[in-house]
Amino acid sequence: MTNQPPAPEPAAAAELPTDSTEITRPDAQLPGTDRPRTAKRITLRSDLRASWLDGLVALLVTAAVFVLLYIRIRNKTSSTVSVMPFMADVGGFWMYFLSQAFGWSALLWAWGTVVLGLLLSGSRPRWLRISGPRLERLHRTTSLNTIALIFAHALFFGAELFRHDTAAWNSALATAFVETFVPGGYTSGTGQIAIPIGQAALYLAIPLGLLFYVRHRFGPRTWRILHRFVIVVYVLSVWHTLLYGTNVWYDGWFRTSIWLLQLPIAALFLVRLLRPARRSEKLPLSPGAAPSRTSWSLRLAGRLAVVGVMVALVVVVVSGSDGGRTVPPDDTSSTHNHD
């Protein structure tokens, strides 16, 4: 009687093969032949080609949001006009409204990317009929489009700054670049904090999204550690929105809905921790069954922290108050000057 090798652990999202767009058995054969099935290599170019449909949907959503923002500004029903009355000139600030539209679609795509990632890295629910490889490809394409949307959001913000700068074009271009892309370059009002937070989200999203395509150079374990910081990009994006988004500047249903959308993320994250796809990440029932008490304590603390976040989110959603403004300040230009 021979000893059987241990069964391999199920692959999490971060452990899907880097050289195949489909999950196939090593001994799988092409139909009607004796030749093994040839796996297709995942490359940035192939994923960019595959992301066109998702990107088109993102652009259509951005266009719809832009029209909605434009109409609300024109009708003076948007809180943006309360924060910055001069923005009632819809023709003069259309680039800023387009920047806002890209920002909202970027946040929505980031939300979807995180949801897909959590579904991949945990035990997928039975009702989810999409196969693992297709779900993983969708996760990659939405990730690429999220980066593009965030960059477009920043680019149009900088274009708006450049357009209204009365200095020489080269000086105006340099100023707009610094204020938009250099941390600490924007020194007005709430933007001193909110814009560096948004910049951090962009500058983390780019390497975390693209390192997937070269992860064979530094190994899957390092990649798994790095990939977990994607949630930080999402948290920074939400934080930037709540701080600087004039559409959610004041308390109300729209601001509350942003918090409501975080409940599914927290719930999936908790499921991911309680039922991870990798057996080595499961929390033993007792500290003695874990490699070390410190490891067991840290894993337990992480799960309790997520539960605490969920409770806090429920409190915010039910109360409808999270620290947002209740009335416009007397002098909006001194507290939230986007110009």
> For residues 34 and 144, which has the higher predicted lDDT (pLDDT)?
144
Q: Is 54 in contact with 141 (CB distance < 8 Å)? A: yes
DSSP annotation of 123: -
| 224-258: b (≥16 Cβ within 10 Å) or e | bebbeebeebbbbbbbbbbbbbbbbbbbeeebbeb
| Ranges assigned E (strand) in the chain | none
Dist. CA 262–CA 117, nearest whole Å: 15
Q: What is the mean pLDDT of the chain?
A: 80
- Residue 217: is it exposed, middle or buried by C-beta count within 10 angstroms (0-12/13-18/19+)? exposed
The pLDDT value given to residue 14: 35
Dist. CA 230–CA 120, nearest whole Å: 14
The pLDDT value given to residue 284: 59
Dist. CA 7–CA 261, nearest whole Å: 38
Q: Would you list the DSSP string of 2-38?
A: PPPPPPPPPP-GGGS-TT-SS---TT-B-TTSSSBPP
Confidence of residue 7 (pLDDT cuts 50, 70, 90): very low
The pLDDT value given to residue 158: 95
Q: How many CA atoms lie within 13 A of 200 on its CB side?
A: 19
Q: Is 123 in contact with 275 (CB distance < 8 Å)? A: yes
- The token pair at 194 is 């909110």
Task: Kindly list the distances between the CA atom of residue 229 and the CA atoms of 53, 68, 165, 266, 310, in Å, as whole numbers in the listed order.
Answer: 27, 33, 37, 15, 20
Rounded to two decimals, the pTM is: 0.79
Q: Is 18 in contact with 216 (CB distance < 8 Å)? A: yes
DSSP annotation of 250: B
The pLDDT value given to residue 113: 93
The pLDDT value given to residue 91: 82
The continuous run of DSSP H or E covering 109 comes out as: helix 94-121
Angle made by CA atoms 159, 161, 163, in degrees to the nearest 5: 65
Dist. CA 227–CA 57, nearest whole Å: 25
Confidence of residue 15 (pLDDT cuts 50, 70, 90): very low
Confidence of residue 277 (pLDDT cuts 50, 70, 90): low
Torsion sign across C-alpha atoms 162, 171, 86, 103: positive
